[in-house]
Amino acid sequence: MVTLIIATIPACELALSDVFASLPDIEIEAERIVKGEENAAMPLLWVRGVEPDDFEAACEADPTIDDLELLADFDEELLYRMQWFDRIGLLFQMLTNANATILEAVGESETWHLRLLYPSREHLSKTKTFCSEHGLSFSIDAIRNMDRDPSGRYGLTSIQYNALITAVDAGYFDVPREVTLDELAAEMNLSHQALSECLRRGTHVLIEDTVLIGAAEFNL
């Protein structure tokens, strides 16, 4: 069964450890990470909380980085393309042997927070075995099996998923609203209070599961 996890990995065991150490306020978010040549990965990274000159100077001293290129400067965030070398064996193991898909990767405070999709629990066990054999840290903060219920993709209960979908279809989130909460509750045969709580909790889960990476607590 397809398995979704959120995991944390120290930067010293993945990439950009020296950058995080020298720039404690930096936040890095991967736009994309693709496998390059045999010992390299080529990520596109959004960089926040630092000036371009300071970031580039820190990158020069980091052995995991090569071929740094600034693609865009939007004042509060920078988009870079680079290559990662050296301590990225864990990354390649996840991308190749374990067939994992990196959905999100955010680095801050010398730690990487990853959202990973594995084809099965058996594939996930390959990453855990690899880390154990190589003395690497791989902390799983949340895990969820993906079944046929579409709510499982987002960490929602079936009731939360159906409530949100019904609310969107009925125009509850439109401006102005096309239906009141009481009308929607009557349509779904729920009380006003039950539906209100369902929508709030479902929205909370979606925000954690899509925006606040590393903070989600999945409904298993």
Instruction: Please write the tens of the pLDDT for every residue from 118-149.
Output: 988 899 998 899 888 888 888 998 887 766 55
How many CB atoms within 10 Å of residue 179? 18
85: left (phi over 0), alpha (psi -120 to 50) or beta: beta
Find the range with the poorest average confidence among 52-56, 72-76, 86-90, 199-203: 86-90
How many CB atoms within 10 Å of residue 83? 18
Question: Are the C-beta atoms of 213 and 115 separated by less than 8 Å?
Answer: yes
155: left (phi over 0), alpha (psi -120 to 50) or beta: left
Question: Are the C-beta atoms of 145 and 1 separated by less than 8 Å?
Answer: yes
Residue 147, Cα to own-chain centre: how many angstroms? 20
Instruction: Please write the tens of the pLDDT for every residue from 192-215.
Output: 999 999 999 988 877 766 655 444
Structure-block tokens of residue 120: 């099965």
